[in-house]
Amino acid sequence: MDELFDTYNAMKDFLSFDDSDAARLKALAPVFAKHGAAITNAFYDQLGAMPSTAKIIDGRVEALKRTHIAWMGQLFDGEYGRPFFDRQFKIGDVHVTNNINPEYVEGVTTTLRLGGRAAIIEEMGNTNEALQHFDSLVKVLDLALMTINLAYQEERLSRISAFTGMSRKLLENLVKRGGKKK
């Protein structure tokens, strides 16, 4: 897990996610406190519109909305260290163990980017400052998504390892070599 946290930190550097992003995200907390419910409704409307995702959320949309709003609130608390990583990784785990295809998770993130952009512009106007805040939002959503995807990769390798009896190390080496035996 420490190795994965190192990967998370490397991705943070790669995205140039820094203290000014953290400060802007914290400043966005009231915007999302106000618009979070509408964005969450759009998120579940999107999942409800496609039969393959609608059947997964059927009957539990109200409960899912509550956990989703809580998750969204944490994006704006200004802390992006180990607890943030652990939380996103656990969310990845929950989705992979529920056999939810990762492309659905990636696809529905668009509603968060677009809904977030509209909310920021509504509250801050169509200004450079609003654009800078939107950039920080995109970065934190991408960081969350990358971490969720790390959980998918881990779980998939573990499942193949358990099924085939091949060690994790051997499987990881195979992936790195592009499937070539030598």
Would you tell me which residues interact with ligand HEM (CB under 6 A)? 47, 53, 56-57, 64, 67-68, 71, 90-91, 94-95, 98, 100, 104-105, 108-109
Q: Residue 47 Cβ, how far from ligand HEM at the closest point, in Å?
A: 5
Between residues 44 and 134, which has the closer beta carbon with respect to ligand HEM?
44
Between residues 42 and 91, which has the closer beta carbon with respect to ligand HEM?
91
Between residues 35 and 95, which has the closer beta carbon with respect to ligand HEM?
95
From CA 61, how far away is CA 76, in angstroms rounded?
Answer: 23
Q: Residue 178 Cβ, how far from ligand HEM at the closest point, in Å?
A: 29
Handedness of CA 120, 37, 140, 114 (dihedral sign): negative
Q: Residue 133 Cβ, how far from ligand HEM at the closest point, in Å?
A: 20
Q: Residue 157 Cβ, how far from ligand HEM at the closest point, in Å?
A: 21
Token duo for residue 172: 């990881």
From CA 99, how far away is CA 152, in angstroms rounded?
Answer: 10
Between residues 98 and 126, which has the closer beta carbon with respect to ligand HEM?
98
